[in-house]
Amino acid sequence: MTIPSYPNLKSLPSAVRDQLAAGIVDPDHVTLAPNLRLCRFTDRQYGPDQGLISPWWMTENDFNKIVAAREHSRRAHGGDKSRSLSMGFLARWAAAVPQEWQQDGGTSKSNTVDLLLRADLRVSVDAFVGRGRAQREQSPNGITVTWSGWPSITQLFIPAFSLKQQPPATLHDVLQMLSVGAPTYVTSHQLYART
């Protein structure tokens, strides 16, 4: 197995560099070590396999900050899960993930942020780390919603998992680099509904 090496921003193919710049402010290069636990929220309608093929991840430590925020919200609402902030909503807010994401050259796709993937790295990989870039979208009533991300959450961008590299990452490639745990389905309340 050959793992693509990207030791700096200039080594990234331009499409991958653009993808990184769209999601992270001032990214720094890091080498992620084997056995690091990674977490990623995705959309259950696309399934766990498709969700694994993405460069966007976070560490388990940052995931635990989202869990702590959910528990705080539950306590603040007397344990009432229907009134407290959902895990998916908090993940969206923490990681700056809009409710609809524009695919390159395509139309906006709704994403529900209701599937949690966990995996351990099997090998060292190059990555870029930094604070998430604020994302904006317009709700059906014309109000602009800004998903700013939390300053305490660090985004991880792993170019070897990107569909924009050449050749594009495949599920087989990603599974060579990750030991994947069972997916977890989480609750995700939307801020607004499309009409």
Structure tokens at 137: 């979208």
Structure tokens at 179: 């030991």
Residue with tokens 């590299």: 165
User: Looking at residue 163, what is its pLDDT?
Assistant: 92
Please compute the mean of the pLDDT values over residues 41-67 and round it to a whole number: 94
Domain hosting residue 48, numbered range: 9-101+113-185
Does residue 193 belong to any structural domain of this protein?
Answer: no
Does residue 4 belong to any structural domain of this protein?
Answer: no
Does residue 192 belong to any structural domain of this protein?
Answer: no
Does residue 194 belong to any structural domain of this protein?
Answer: no
Q: pLDDT tens digit string along 131-178? A: 999 999 888 888 999 999 999 999 999 999 999 999 999 999 999 999
Does residue 108 belong to any structural domain of this protein?
Answer: no
d(CA 148, CA 94): 8
Does residue 122 belong to any structural domain of this protein?
Answer: yes
Residue with tokens 């070897």: 160
Q: Work out how many domains the chain is built from and give that number.
A: 1
d(CA 51, CA 38): 13
d(CA 58, CA 39): 5
Does residue 1 belong to any structural domain of this protein?
Answer: no
User: Looking at residue 108, what is its pLDDT?
Assistant: 60
More confident of the two residues 125 and 47: 125
Q: pLDDT tens digit string along 69-127? A: 999 999 999 999 889 999 999 999 999 999 887 555 445 667 789 999 999 999 999 99
Does residue 2 belong to any structural domain of this protein?
Answer: no
Q: Which residues have a Cβ under 8 Å from the Cβ of 98 and sit 6 or more positions away?
A: 92, 135, 136, 137, 145, 147
Please compute the mean of the pLDDT values over residues 23-30 and round it to a whole number: 96
User: Looking at residue 162, what is its pLDDT?
Assistant: 95
d(CA 98, CA 138): 10
Q: For the residues of 56-94, what is the DSSP string, one character each?
A: EEEEHHHHHHHHHHHHHHHHHTTT-TTTSPPHHHHHHHH
